[in-house]
């Protein structure tokens, strides 16, 4: 390469480096915080309705609601500051009811990300331990811990996490998993695109997912669990259970004798049910694509030659009915 071409090549490299440097220098991340505190008495209500951002609720022994909104905007400094200015956060109090609302009111870019400028938001809120909450975000996770009261939570694109809640709980997300641990009261959950991880629930439970697995441990009461696309791992069961999956296997272990009828159904997997040998139950076990086996003695109520894919009868004189039906796998009754 002659000296002239070499000089031109180096000039292009230096020019590209300078362009990159200018681009990096021209961008900035601007952070802004909003902090507010409102005097309240336990037993009030918090309503949060925001167009984006994660919501985190904590509790403490206090008579106030403390709010911290953390926002980070990107782009050039001027653009970032304009983004923060156009993101309007309002807080209002009417007696024992407190509302937090947020919406981006600026010009929204066209295209796939038209609803989402370079803006990250997080709402950190500390409440008295006894409080009702109604939480909605169009784009973020929701976390609630240590609360006594009614909990309503919804997200259009994030996970839900609930820990040590005492009171009715309702959670819905269109795009994330749901985790519940150590809760007392009626629980209703649904997700269109994630798994359910449930533990230590004392109360009736309804959980549905259109695209994930379900894990449950130590659930008490009347439980209904359904998934359209995953396996189910159920342990420490008490009360009664209705469990169904369209695309996976089911394993279920009873900690105590069931108090009502229990049903396990799968369209595409095996089913294993574990019982103590002293439990008194009726069983109805069937499969269209495998075999039925048992570790426990069953007094059959089916007349004629025993079938490899069907078993109905009584254990220890009979009791609540346990049904296990699958179209695409084996069924096993296992001694715990």
pLDDT tens-digit profile of 44-73?
A: 999 999 999 999 999 999 999 999 999 999
CB 141 within 8 A of CB 157: no
* CA 215/CA 224 separation, integer angstroms: 13
pLDDT of residue 303: 64
Q: Is 293 a residue whose pLDDT tops 60?
A: yes
Phi and psi, residue 161, nearest 5°: -135, 125
CB 116 within 8 A of CB 134: no
pLDDT tens-digit profile of 121-162?
A: 999 999 999 999 999 999 899 999 999 999 999 999 899 999
Two structure tokens written together for 101: 């609302």
CB 61 within 8 A of CB 147: no
CB 250 within 8 A of CB 231: yes
Instruction: Note the pTM of the prediction, 2 decimals.
Output: 0.88
pLDDT tens-digit profile of 79-104?
A: 999 999 999 999 999 999 999 999 99
Helical H segments across the chain, by residue range: 3-26, 77-86
């Amino acid at each position: 390469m002659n000296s002239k071409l070499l000089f031109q090549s180096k000039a292009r490299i230096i020019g590209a480096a300078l362009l990159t440097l200018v681009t990096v220098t021209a961008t900035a991340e601007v952070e802004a915080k909003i902090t507010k505190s409102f005097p309240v008495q336990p037993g009030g209500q918090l309503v949060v309705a925001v167009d984006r951002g994660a919501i985190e609720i904590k509790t403490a022994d206090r008579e106030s609601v403390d709010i911290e909104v953390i926002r980070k905007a990107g782009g050039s400094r001027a653009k970032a500051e304009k983004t923060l200015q156009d993101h309007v956060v309002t807080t209002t109090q009417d007696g024992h009811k407190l509302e937090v609302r947020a919406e981006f009111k600026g010009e929204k870019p066209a295209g796939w990300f038209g609803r989402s400028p370079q803006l990250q938001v997080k709402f950190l809120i500390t409440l008295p331990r006894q409080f009702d909450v109604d939480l909605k975000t169009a784009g973020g996770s929701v976390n609630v811990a240590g609360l006594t009261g009614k909990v309503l939570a919804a997200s259009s694109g994030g996970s839900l996490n609930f820990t040590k809640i005492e009171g009715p709980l309702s959670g819905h997300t269109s795009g994330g998993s749901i985790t519940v641990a150590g809760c007392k009261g009626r629980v209703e959950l649904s997700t269109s695109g994630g798994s359910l991880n449930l533990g230590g629930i004392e109360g009736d439970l309804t959980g549905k997912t259109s695209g994930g697995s379900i894990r449950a441990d130590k659930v008490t009461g009347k439980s209904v669990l359904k998934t359209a696309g995953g396996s189910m791992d159920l342990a420490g069961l008490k009360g009664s259970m209705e469990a169904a999956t369209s695309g996976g296997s089911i394993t279920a272990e009873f900690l105590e004798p069931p108090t009502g009828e229990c049903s396990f159904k799968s369209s595409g997997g095996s089913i294993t049910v574990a019982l103590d040998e002293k439990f008194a139950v009726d069983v109805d076990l069937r499969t269209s694509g495998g075999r039925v086996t048992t570790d426990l003695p069953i007094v059959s109520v089916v007349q004629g030659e025993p079938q490899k894919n069907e078993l109905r009868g009584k254990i220890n004189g009979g009791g609540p009915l346990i049904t296990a039906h699958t179209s695409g796998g084996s069924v096993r009754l296992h001694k715990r």
